[in-house]
Amino acid sequence: MPEQVTPISEALLARAVFGPLGGVVEVGAVNATGTWRLTEVSMGDYLARRRSDVERLLEGIRSVCRFSDDAMAIVDELGRLRDHDVPAAYLLLWSGGITGVPQPLERLEEPPVVRRMCRMAADLQLTLFLQALINAAIAAGTEAGRGAPHVAEVLATASDLADATGRSAPADIFRMWRVAHLPAILSPESDAPESGKVAFRAYDQLLEELLAAA
């Protein structure tokens, strides 16, 4: 019998992509200060300076995920690509709370703590972003031969937005994604459809080739 696959709504796929992207740009704005002092962060200035990169990133996402105008509008709905404050609590969230909550609470805003949260958040949110991007591409029927080069380009832009020093290298994010997400998807016990497993394996192989050559 043919596989019975329950489709995921486009809106949910888009939110899964744009959620971590919000963390990526917020971390990027903090890293761009070079001081990791939250009082010096300006999302408006950062997004204005990186406008062409953000536009190229969004166009790449639309292309590989085949998102409609309604799905792309979720970016504006989430508000992460508009001017806003970036409190330490956001960074704690994006970094998965790995640092814990120091006492007194004001220590959360100290530059060494902020810098550490930014490094963790960049790794975590870029890895989640890559998983959501590939998942949406597969759901849209974008086969790996066409989609993987676009995914590699989008990941490179997102990685540079998170940290322009190159610390969040696309090849590193790819390897973290593979060990964090593929075992659960590809294991014999996984309830992922076989067609999905084939597609993830194809993206994994092609992205490895593309990023190893970068």
Q: d(Cα 151, Cα 52) in Å, to the nearest integer?
A: 18
Per DSSP, which regions of 57-193 are E strands?
A: none
Find tokens 């001017």 and name the residue: 83
Contacts 24+ apart (CB under 8 A), 181-188: 181/127, 181/131
Across the range 21-49, mean pLDDT stands at 97
Position 119 pLDDT exceeds 50: yes
| 114 touches 30 (CB < 8 A) | yes
Across the range 142-147, mean pLDDT stands at 98
| 92 touches 125 (CB < 8 A) | no
| 88 touches 114 (CB < 8 A) | yes
Across the range 182-199, mean pLDDT stands at 95
Banded pLDDT at 152 (limits 50, 70, 90): very high
| 56 φψ region: left (φ > 0), alpha (ψ -120 to 50), beta (else) | alpha
Position 214 pLDDT exceeds 80: no
Banded pLDDT at 2 (limits 50, 70, 90): very low
Specify the 3-state DSSP secondary structure of 66.
Answer: coil
70 Cβ contact partners less than 8 Å away, ≥ 6 residues apart:
10, 11
Position 59 pLDDT exceeds 80: yes
